Chain A
């Protein structure tokens, strides 16, 4: 480390000017990813542009669709009453990131742009149809979260673009969502595998719409078309949930690493997807399932 220029911006325009074409500068919000990665051999950029003082990027507004400034912290999101009520999978995920300390400094924008296939917040945003706003000196564009990542640590954002916000549509009536993570410990953990589900029910309890996404089983977070097809048109009965489990496992293409083998991850992708769909269906029906959804399962109260 050493010989790094540090700038602190107070407006997005100022940050964009400092980032320039993005060839030598990187944006930092909380730093919980960038500083660790620098220490692990990726090095620091020549120029660091701190955006943590840009007040315009700090807001959370749930009066219509949910809009999150890029600097909304995981602690802010996890505690937000309207997020917990209407976009519950995102509250599940935000409450699981790191520790209290990580959640205080880590931001939704940083989590998305770090582009880890094991990130917590990405799956919930995919299943709820979220998009991000990318700003550059030449303008602003909207990109679906599902199209943001191109590989581990890689995004479709151009080098000079800054993620400024996230928009999550308001879900239809009788909808529910959940994010469930397989974890070996509670704090400072990274998903072994994770699954997100968002479902909408008809008045008779039939699932009319469903999206399922799998975390840490592919180079990016991926949808599971087989799990989605398995639950739509059912009432979430045991046969349907067994088909969700099989479908999610078949859609996973994990790797072996020091935390889990490929086979274990594939098997657990099915189990965790089944749990996520189960909780999403319960919540859609009005059940106040605890947030985050994970620890209840870890204590063995559900199979």
Chain B
């Protein structure tokens, strides 16, 4: 059964028609066409699908898209200002926090949410905030370092 709805992603209202059990990551990628958000484990383990719903990080693979109607959804595409990367994104590049890149959108969203809530986090707070995001390349050191560098840069 298709349900007509409007999803607001990065400030833009998108009319969509979705099955009742469509997940938010499927709506964002397949219906709206924003493919920055990754579908990783698709089982609420890896965090590659992390988006913000009303400012809070949410695993979009495990959240029904229709539950997000009326909410402000922010994906990794919403972190940059056009082609101008955010200071957090720049820090990931400068500090070597990106290797294959698959986990990066989820890492950025979790880190962005952390820094909004806590602009001066400790290393432990950074690692706890990224606990729901898996990376198979970097060993996490450079990702945590990038978040710290972004925090210090303000």
* Other-chain residue from A1, A2, A5, A35 in contact with B62 (beta carbon distance below 8 A): A35
Within 8 A of B (CB), among A177-193: 186-188
Q: Does B132 contact A (CB under 8 A)?
A: yes
Contact A36 B113 (CB under 8 A): no
CB contacts between A and B, total, < 8 Å: 102
B60's closest neighbor in chain A, by CB?
Answer: A101
Interface residue count on the A side (C-beta < 8 Å): 32
Q: Does B42 contact A (CB under 8 A)?
A: yes
Q: In the complex, what residues of A have CB within 8 A of residue B66's CB?
A: 6, 8, 50
Contact B20 A48 (CB under 8 A): yes
Contact B63 A4 (CB under 8 A): no
Q: Give complex CA distance A32, B58 in Å.
A: 10
Q: Does B101 contact A (CB under 8 A)?
A: no
Contact A101 B59 (CB under 8 A): yes
* Other-chain residue from B23, B45, B129 in contact with A188 (beta carbon distance below 8 A): B45
Within 8 A of B (CB), among A1-59: 1-6, 8, 28, 30-32, 35-36, 38-39, 44, 47-48, 50, 52-53
Chain B: number of interface residues, binned into ranges = 20 to 34
Q: Does B50 contact A (CB under 8 A)?
A: yes
Contact A6 B58 (CB under 8 A): no
Contact A100 B21 (CB under 8 A): no
Contact A2 B21 (CB under 8 A): yes
Q: In the complex, what residues of A have CB within 8 A of residue B42's CB?
A: 39
Contact B1 A4 (CB under 8 A): yes
Q: Does B3 contact A (CB under 8 A)?
A: yes
B106's closest neighbor in chain A, by CB?
Answer: A101
Shortest distance between the CB of A212 and any CB in chain B (Å): 28
Contact B64 A5 (CB under 8 A): no
- Convert A162-184 into 0s and 1s, putting 1 for each residue whose CB lies closer than 8 angstroms to a CB of B: 00000000000000000000000
Q: In the complex, what residues of B have CB within 8 A of residue A35's CB?
A: 21, 23, 44, 61-64
> Can you report 7 residue pairs joining A to B where beta carbons are below 8 Å apart?
A3-B19, A31-B64, A32-B44, A99-B47, A101-B57, A188-B44, A188-B45
The 3 A-B residue pairs with the shortest CB-CB distance in the complex, in nearest-first order? A99-B132, A187-B131, A6-B20
B residues adjacent to A (C-beta < 8 A): 1, 3, 19-23, 42-45, 47, 50, 53, 56-59, 61-64, 66-67, 69-70, 110, 113, 128-129, 131-133
